[in-house]
Amino acid sequence: MEKIRLALVEDDPEVRALLHAYLCQQPELDCVIVAGSAEDFLQQLTEVRVGPQVVLLDVQLPGLSGIEALPLIRQRLPEADVLMQTVFDDADTIFQALRQGATGYVLKSAALTEYKAAVLDVARGGAPMSPAVARKVLAHFKPLPQTQPGLLTEREQAVVQGIVDGLGDKQVAHRLGLSAETVRTYVKRVYKKLQVSSRTELVSRVVRGN
């Protein structure tokens, strides 16, 4: 079994030293790069002959943030997997990172053994992430079977159309010759059916391909 070539990008010197000491002593791992910033990492990348297979990248970094650096790194290392690490269990940030091509993430509160597990997981083809993020991810690409089938009734679709056109409840009501209160009822029903909780969500879901 070959060692997994690992890169560490972490600005906090203490954390960096700790991770470095622990991870690099693991028999399965081989730290090829240890950097304090994204810029530093990209620089060092040009100096090594063989790049890392896994990059452990902090989200909060001075200069280029982890998320900003992600596309650059992936451009340089298309074959590598990037594992984000963050202090906050912030689903939205992580989600953005995943969209940029991260393969998973670890919370900084994680134990060292968890770090190791995550790295190995990624290297084995996994994608470590927290429950909340996983759910978010599913919801995204699982674009609910609506619009086409009779999920929404005619009236409901008409209301949705109005909303997508940028109208308010009153305007929709006027367009359809209904009471504004009735429109509100429809909107609420549609929200439930499509599992959204705001107009903006509704519109973006409908206007993108569901």
Partner DNA sequence: GGTGTTGTACCGCATTTCGGGGACGCATCA
Partner DNA sequence: TGATGCGTCCCCGAAATGCGGTACAACACC
**Using CB under 7 A as the criterion, which residues of the chain lie in contact with DNA when the complex forms?**
46, 76, 150, 153-156, 168-170, 176, 178-182, 184-188, 191, 197-200
How many binding residues for a second copy (CB under 8 A)?
57
**Distance between start and end Cα atoms, the chain:** 44
Beta-carbon count within 10 A of 108 CB: 18
Q: Which of 69, 129, 159, 190 binds a second copy (CB under 8 A)?
A: 129
User: 165, 180, 185, 188: which one contacts a second copy (CB under 8 A)?
Assistant: 165
Helices (H) and strands (E) counted in the chain, each on its own, are 10, 5
User: What is the distance between the alpha carbons of residues 73 and 37, in angstroms, rounded to a whole number?
Assistant: 12
E strands, the chain, in order: 4-9, 29-35, 54-58, 81-86, 104-107
Q: 72 or 120, CB closer to DNA?
A: 72
Residues 59-118 contacting a second copy, CB under 8 A:
71, 75, 78-79, 90, 92-93, 96, 98-101, 103-104
Q: Which does 112 bind (CB under 5 to 8 A by kind): a second copy, DNA, none?
A: none
Which of 151, 155, 156, 184 is in the footprint of a second copy by CB under 8 A?
151
Residues 6+ apart with CB under 8 A from 87: 59, 60, 107, 108, 109
Closest C-alpha to 129, from 114, 111, 149, 141: 114
We find the least distance from the C-beta atom of residue 26 to DNA, in angstroms, to be 26
Residue 80 token pair: 């590598």
Shortest distance (Å) from residue 46 CB to DNA:
7
- 124 contacts a second copy (rule: CB under 8 A): yes
What is the nearest approach in angstroms of a second copy to the Cβ of residue 203? 5
Smallest gap from Cβ 127 to DNA, in A, equals 21
DSSP conformation class of 69: H
Smaller CB distance to DNA: residue 20 or 182?
A: 182
